[in-house]
Amino acid sequence: MGRLDGKVAFITGGARGQGRSHAVMMAEEGADIITLDLCEQVDSVEYPMATPEDLEETSRLVEKTGRRIVARQADVRDFDAVSEVLAEGLSELGRLDFVLANAGIMAMLGEQGRQRRAFYDSVDVLLTGVFHTCEAAIPVLIEQDQGGAIVITSSTAGLKGLAPNRKVAASGYLGYTAAKHGVVGLMRAYANALAPHRIRCNTVHPTGVNSPMVVNDAFARFIEENPEGTVGMINALPVELLDVSDISKAIVFLCSPDAQYITGVTLPVDAGLCNK
């Protein structure tokens, strides 16, 4: 018997990385899944983004657990598209319990990351996309009147200013940092506004994670060209990168009955980075 039996989770950015891990682990705990991912390239992002084949693999892995999944291509920057995927999932799966606003980009690498477009794209995906996700789902949770949980993926960059100099703090980095701080404000406002409806809202703040967003040639070049940029990103515990499952465990906990009175929290899963 799983901790999330009979529940349904809506997850953005589910094609690979953390989003896929969240979908599979929640399915293993008994939840059905509604997920979406852009599965296209954003011009300001230098590394290869997820593909339709990645999203199909997430579906296969969830179905392997015996749970159901509705997985579609959609852009979190498009509120109507997000709402349509959620509506389709609700039609098939019947309810909604958890919202994981996870979709993200790292538009700070290479020449693209130095252009103003990278700032706008970062804010559009990482902040406006979270707003769209929450606003599409919250009316459903309120109407059901059965409580629920929202978990927003922020970052250690949502708690600290990690850039050591102007070279690193170019447009994309500034947009990423501003958006990851911005979702903390959204979370705190939602946590208060939704508490009367027994809907909890928290943010999770990972350090570096072993996922395609970080483990790629573009990020490796960024580190090689900006070695000073890693000084503020070294964990206190002796681990370089966390596994995606480490973040999923925290998110499953925040959605589970074990966390029924936890709301308005910024939870670092950061191997002690923010304590330094």
> Would you state the torsion angle of the CA atoms of residues 69, 2, 64, 149, taken in this order, to the nearest 10 degrees?
30
Tens of pLDDT along 194-231?
999 999 999 999 999 999 999 999 999 988 888 876 76
Helices (H), 207-257: 217-225, 244-255
Supply the DSSP symbol for 45. Answer: -
Catalytic positions are 176
- In degrees, to the nearest 5, what angle opens at C-alpha 132 toward C-alphas 130 and 138? 95
Handedness of CA 216, 271, 21, 171 (dihedral sign): negative
Per the prediction, the chain carries an average pLDDT of 96
**Nearest-CA neighbor of 101 among 139, 25, 154?**
154
Cβ neighbours of residue 50 closer than 8 Å, sequence gap 6 or more: 13, 15, 16, 17, 37, 38, 39, 212
Ranking 39-43, 130-134, 230-234, 245-249 by mean pLDDT, the lowest is 230-234
Tens of pLDDT along 145-181?
999 999 999 999 999 998 888 888 899 999 999 999 9
For residue 148, the model assigns a pLDDT of 98
State the fold for domain 8-268.
Answer: Rossmann fold (3.40.50)
